[in-house]
Amino acid sequence: MPLGRLTLLQAGLESCSEIVISLSSTPPEELLSIIASRRNPNQHVTVLVRENFPDLALLRRLHLLGFRVDVCWDLPEENILFLNRNIGVTLPDGEEVAEAFSLCCRLLWLRFGRFVSLDGIIGQVSEDGTFFSLVKGGYPIWVSLKPTAGCGELLPGRKVSVFGFCIFMVNIVEAWEIRREMEHSAEGEGKE
């Protein structure tokens, strides 16, 4: 990216109120570092990814940084950074995106889920082991398992942390990763 364009982009990152990042592939690390370090705490940052985005570690990191990570249909092939929706540049090239506002708004309308991180206790487990209820705050949240979630055996009463995306219309979390925190027996004994 040309130096002048990078300087302008950094200034825009500090002064804009909203950042939207459309990611079709893992961007260069230095660009994410610039975005994370230059944003101010009052900014809303939304990252849009495809349902089959391959870099789970990056999605988790963006979520931990406080970015809203949404799943979207029909993303462009190139990664794009939008500032206040009306300025768009491709990443890492820095080429200006024509009709940035229209494209950004269209992409935001095509969202169908959001990545979430939930902790809770496994309640009911389906007979085939593909769904379970996660009890959090007294009510169950239904979780479907992505085949690569890597959770081992699902046992009722086990405390787990789930990272996955919540599909807006059906309010089911598709687990991309499940981590067991500790195992609870009926007597409250036992730890892993």
Domains and CATH numbers, the chain: 3-109 (3.30.870.10), 114-182 (2.40.50.140)
94 pLDDT band, cuts 50/70/90, is: confident
Q: Which two tokens stand for residue 56?
A: 């789970």
In order of 40, 89, 103, the CA distances from 117 in angstroms are: 23, 30, 29
- pLDDT score of 14 more than 50: yes
Three-class secondary structure of residue 104 per DSSP: helix
Question: What CA–CA distance (Å, rounded) separates 87 from 81?
Answer: 8
Three-class secondary structure of residue 39 per DSSP: coil
Question: What CA–CA distance (Å, rounded) separates 111 from 181?
Answer: 31
H/E stretch holding 63 reads: helix 56-64
Cα 104-110-115 angle, rounded to 5 deg: 100
Q: What is the pTM of this model?
A: 0.82
Question: What CA–CA distance (Å, rounded) separates 25 from 16?
Answer: 24
159 pLDDT band, cuts 50/70/90, is: very high
Using alpha carbons, select from 35, 6, 38, 7 the residue that is nearest to residue 23.
Answer: 35
Residue 150: its pLDDT value, please?
A: 67
